[in-house]
Structure 1
Amino acid sequence: MKEKLFRIDLRRLILWMCLFFVFLALANNLYASYKVQREILLHNTLEANHVYALKLAQITNAYIESSKRVLEAASHEIGKTGRDSAAAQDELGRVARMTHNFNSLFFTNASGRVMAALPLADKLAGTNVQSRYSLEALKLRQPLISRPFLAPADRWLILVSQPVFQSNGAYAGFIGGTIYLHSPNALQRVLGEHYYRDGSYIYVVDRDGLLIYHPDKKRIGTSNLNNPAVQQVVHGRSGAIRLSNTRQIDMLAGYAPVAATGWGIVVQRPTQAATAALYDLFWRTLYYSLPITLLSLLAIWWLATLISRPLRELAEVAVHLDDRPSFDRIHLINGWYIEVSLIRKALLTGYSAVSTRMSRLHRQAETDPLTSLTNRRGLESALAALKQAGNPLAAVMFDIDHFKAINDTHGHVAGDEALVTVASIARKTARESDVVARMGGEEFVVLMPGSALDSALAFAERLREEIGRARITQDGQVTVSLGVALYPLHTQDIDTLLPLADTALYQAKNAGRNCVRVAGRHEAI
């Protein structure tokens, strides 16, 4: 029983192989879908971060340009008042009320002494500037934006300065605005509102790779030049890149330079956060694939049965070759694919040899050897089949005029050639469904199933003209006389159809030959 249960047959073999490949294809499709979706998500995230970095760079650039314009306007006002400390203090107050771009403001005269400063709590007024970038601003006498530097108060800041010239063109010093990088500042307000909560963050570096802004304030003022994105952005390039940050977290970074300062904006998002939705997408894809998968499994089971059934039936027939009734079942087996058809054909070969030989003899017996048309016996068989169908039928009977004279004048070989030529023309002129037969001697008939009187007459006339135009004998053309009869128009008994057509044929001969006559009519057609 166990051997019978676990015996491998074709149906089980097909079923298990198909199941294996279906699940393999499903797994491959899921994996391919996962990989493609992952690549799309990574590409889109990189592109989004790049675009976002460009946007933030534009915002930062606008912030810097706005700050420079404010200081430039204030420098003009202070220049008008000369070296008046009170007027300079008032102007700084006006700037502080107008904009919050700076944490502190001060005006330094040409000798480096602070003449006015805000906030007052810093107590900068009356002191001399000492930082490298303040001294550089005094020396160069042109607008400057400093690198991040550590001020004497032990805090990192950036200095934005604008020279002050009096009305007579004399250099009066410079007005400076500072941004405290570790304290709340305008740059943080611009960039901080764009902070993500999924591990994404934004940071800003100067042209040397020093961090100007970072969510982790402890890192401000440190170098981040080892970062591949920073290496690109400090050279003025924008783009996107996949990298590992200082904590070795896989990141998707977009970067863009700030035109006004040479700074760089970098937007980073963890790769894991970007691809987190993939797992949900994977299970949803699997869920939506299940109905088709189940239908596929049912189709495989059905196809396995459909494929194996005819082979099993052929095997059972082959076992009983000696049993003729059992072997006759082979004709009921559906050979819908070529292998079954070939096997069935091979099994039938032995039994069909005699039948094939007999059929060949039968065809030879129904074919005229000279013209290869159907002979009288074949005509009788065709007429019997058409009678059983019961459909309308036209008979066009014709023979060669003065055929005896052709034989007497040119010999029987020429007469045979005339018969063959006429037969060929009749076959070419007739339809595929028509039966063209040689009755004997020079007499022929064409059976036209489903033909009406008009089409039968048109055919007869066309045939007469085709034969009349052909050069058949050495003397030239020959002519034919034709008779047409229709069932059931002229007779209700199909067995009398040919005699009626024959009578019409002789009416055509009596009318002078080379014409067509219809059964029951004596006038010309």
Structure 2
Amino acid sequence: MPLNTLPALISGRSLRTQIAWVFGALVVTLAVLLSLGFGEALKRRIQGDANASLQMVTDNTAAFLAHGLFERIREVQVLADADVIWRHGLDTAEVNNVLARYQAMQPHSLWFGVADAQGVVRAATGNMLVGQNVEERPWFRAGLQAPYVGDVHPAKLLESLLPPTKSGDPYRFVDFAAPIRIGSTTVGVLGVHGYWEWVNEMIQTLTPAVAREQQLEVFIFDRSGQLIHAPGKQQAVLQRLGQTLPDPSFAKVPSDAHQPREIKVLRWQDGKTYLTAHAHLPARNAESDLGWHIVARIPVDIAFAQADEAVAKALLGGLAAAAVASLLAWLAARRLSEDLDALARAAKDLEAGKPGADIPAAHSSREVQRLSSALRDMIHKLLSANEAMETQVRQRTQQLEEANQELDRQARSDPLTGLLNRRGFDAQMNHDLALARRSGRPLSIITVDVDHFKRINDTHGHDVGDQVLQRLAATLATRLRQSDVVTRLGGEEFAVLLPDTDLEGARTIAQKLVDSQASLGYPVIGGLTISAGVSTLRGAEDTAQELLRRGDMALYQAKREGRNCVVVQA
């Protein structure tokens, strides 16, 4: 019944009738609100249980997968360290028997093999690849140095030697390798190709019995966010749709591993919306730290179906309770007339801000109208004040963020060239140095100095000198890769940080910079040459200061040797 028709309906009736009508309407309203509130609370609890269940599957899968990778590389390392097996050669009958026994214990490891230090396979299960050279394979190159776990990859050399898979899909492997040493000499590499199907079987084991009913599915994405595992036949479909990690925020590793993670409702590339949970692979050691992402999902309509049903039942129960309460209100209306005035006074207390006052809104006789008016005033004030406060907070927050961004940019940038300054360069160098130490990849630096720059300033003035530095900075930036870092250390001296670049590669880049600079013409001054010094990271104990110092020494040597050249300081 619309509220605006209630006064006409009860006009001229007794106070008891008016109170009964009003109280009945109030009880119905409260019953509906309480039912909806209870139903919503129950819905959130059910959703919370669904979230917890989904996150548990994700965390357990990540933990078991990390444990499996750790155990396998540890087994390979232990076997490789057993020098009593290898002491009499890499192709003995004992070696072949050991490999066969280990494969029998690990049926998903489709190939156990031993390659000598030159990359020639000396022994292998099923004699597959024996005599072939695997020197170019990543597992062999990495396994010569230290224990290694490789990311998922398709079979190459073994594809034609293995029987077709049950599903008809191509083989995919995870490689495990470790160096074989006798004393201090590395004599070969033990390699294992683990069939990727073991991941699917592990996930099926960990998935609860109701997973099929709930359509719960588990996916794995690699460090770059590319899909490497999907249940059933979905992988090819999702890859064709361009499915990557469904939320970019999943790629961020949390600073606190125990911090609760948000279960998100996300739309996937198949056009459907899913309740989605995520966990990082908790690597047990550096070798098995592949950066994988474990993602589980349930269709939203299935995940929340029970919750929606609970809300509907709660609402029906509330309506039934409201009907009973309305009947009781009719019987008790005679005693309620005095209470209405008390409710009106309580509403005024609520408007004045007194603690503990809480009265629901309603419409009826004079007393109830006073209550309704008081509540409207109160709500208006609260909403206006809250809106003004939120607007002010948003403005202040935005101003502060913009100011902080500008201060950080100014603190890290050289105002003349727009390149990083020494402070920004130190931060970037420490970051790249840490990455190089952890991954074992090379890192090199080129120090560059303008030849006879003082003569330019003395002859043509500092304005021309500044223009020369600006053009040189632009030239360096455009002739290098996006991953390279160019900085102005001060004056006419620049530095170029080269991640994933060894000494020879850095020498080639430096020579190209010197040659190209010598071929350029400059307004006013004509030609301009530069000298360059090159140094590279020598090992995990090497420091940023030593790397830069060696680069400076090489640069000074280039100056002494006549300028316009490159000198390398290993």
TM-score normalized with structure 2 length = 0.47
1:47 equivalenced with 2:48 (yes/no): no
Distance in 1 (alpha carbons) for counterparts of 2:202 and 2:40: 37
Tell me if structure 1 keeps the 8 A contact 2:47–2:307: no
Tell me if structure 1 keeps the 8 A contact 2:275–2:303: no
1:278-317 aligned at under 5 Å gives the runs 278-286=307-315, 288-289=317-318, 292-304=321-333
Distance 1:63 1:81, change over 3 A: farther
Equivalence for 1:143? 147
Query: Out of 153, 157, 177, which is 2:173 matched to?
Result: 157
- Give the residue type in structure 2 aligned to 1:164: I
Query: Out of 213, 216, 225, which is 1:209 matched to?
Result: 225
Distance in 1 (alpha carbons) for counterparts of 2:135 and 2:254: 28
- Give the residue type in structure 2 aligned to 1:159: D
Q: Which structure exhibits the higher relative contact order, with contacts defined as CA atoms closer than 8 Å and separated by 6 or more residues?
A: 2
- Note the C-alpha offset of 1:107: 1.6
Query: Out of 37, 62, 66, which is 1:61 matched to?
Result: 66
Distance in 2 (alpha carbons) for counterparts of 1:35 and 1:68: 49
Distance 1:307 1:170, change over 3 A: closer
Distance in 1 (alpha carbons) for counterparts of 2:13 and 2:252: 66
Equivalence for 1:92? 99
Tell me if structure 1 keeps the 8 A contact 2:222–2:293: yes
Deviations 1:148-189 (CA, angstroms, capped at 9, x unpaired): 223323633211111111x343212211112233xx32x222
Distance 1:234 1:213, change over 3 A: farther
1:170 equivalenced with 2:185 (yes/no): yes
The percentage of aligned residue pairs carrying the same residue is 20
1:21-420 aligned at under 5 Å gives the runs 21-77=26-82, 78-120=85-127, 123-129=128-134, 132-138=137-143, 140-152=144-156, 153=159, 155-165=171-181, 167-181=182-196, 184-185=197-198, 187-195=199-207, 196-197=211-212, 198-219=214-235, 224-228=244-248, 230-232=250-252, 239-244=261-266, 245-247=268-270, 248-260=272-284, 261-262=288-289, 263-286=292-315, 288-289=317-318, 292-304=321-333
Distance in 1 (alpha carbons) for counterparts of 2:92 and 2:42: 65
| RMSD, aligned α-carbons | 3.4
The number of equivalent residue pairs is 300
Distance 1:211 1:85, change over 3 A: farther
Tell me if structure 2 keeps the 8 A contact 1:116–1:125: yes
Distance in 2 (alpha carbons) for counterparts of 1:206 and 1:235: 20
Distance in 2 (alpha carbons) for counterparts of 1:88 and 1:234: 45
Distance 1:96 1:242, change over 3 A: same
Say which SS state the counterpart of residue 188 (structure 2) adopts: strand
Say which SS state the counterpart of residue 191 (structure 2) adopts: strand
Equivalence for 1:500? none
Distance in 2 (alpha carbons) for counterparts of 1:232 and 1:161: 29
Tell me if structure 2 keeps the 8 A contact 1:233–1:264: no
Distance 1:84 1:16, change over 3 A: same
- Give the residue type in structure 1 aligned to 2:189: F
Tell me if structure 2 keeps the 8 A contact 1:106–1:177: yes
Tell me if structure 2 keeps the 8 A contact 1:82–1:172: no
- Note the C-alpha offset of 1:278: 1.7
- Give the residue type in structure 2 aligned to 1:194: L
- Note the C-alpha offset of 1:253: 0.9
Distance 1:136 1:228, change over 3 A: same
Distance 1:308 1:207, change over 3 A: closer
Distance 1:6 1:232, change over 3 A: closer
1:363-512 aligned at under 5 Å gives the runs none
- Note the C-alpha offset of 1:146: 1.0
- Note the C-alpha offset of 1:305: 5.3
Tell me if structure 2 keeps the 8 A contact 1:206–1:234: no
Say which SS state the counterpart of residue 240 (structure 1) adopts: coil
- Note the C-alpha offset of 1:89: 1.9
Distance 1:254 1:33, change over 3 A: farther
Moved more, 266-275 or 59-68: 266-275
Say which SS state the counterpart of residue 45 (structure 1) adopts: helix
- Note the C-alpha offset of 1:144: 0.8
Distance 1:12 1:250, change over 3 A: farther
Distance in 2 (alpha carbons) for counterparts of 1:234 and 1:149: 28
- Note the C-alpha offset of 1:32: 1.8
Say which SS state the counterpart of residue 141 (structure 1) adopts: coil
Distance in 1 (alpha carbons) for counterparts of 2:336 and 2:250: 65
Distance in 1 (alpha carbons) for counterparts of 2:336 and 2:263: 55
- Note the C-alpha offset of 1:296: 0.8
Moved more, 211-220 or 233-242: 233-242
- Note the C-alpha offset of 1:145: 0.8
Distance in 2 (alpha carbons) for counterparts of 1:277 and 1:135: 53
- Give the residue type in structure 2 aligned to 1:177: V
Distance in 2 (alpha carbons) for counterparts of 1:236 and 1:129: 42
Distance in 1 (alpha carbons) for counterparts of 2:109 and 2:118: 24
Say which SS state the counterpart of residue 81 (structure 1) adopts: coil
- Give the residue type in structure 2 aligned to 1:113: V
TM-score normalized with structure 1 length = 0.50
- Give the residue type in structure 1 aligned to 2:251: Q
Distance in 2 (alpha carbons) for counterparts of 1:80 and 1:236: 47
Tell me if structure 2 keeps the 8 A contact 1:46–1:254: no
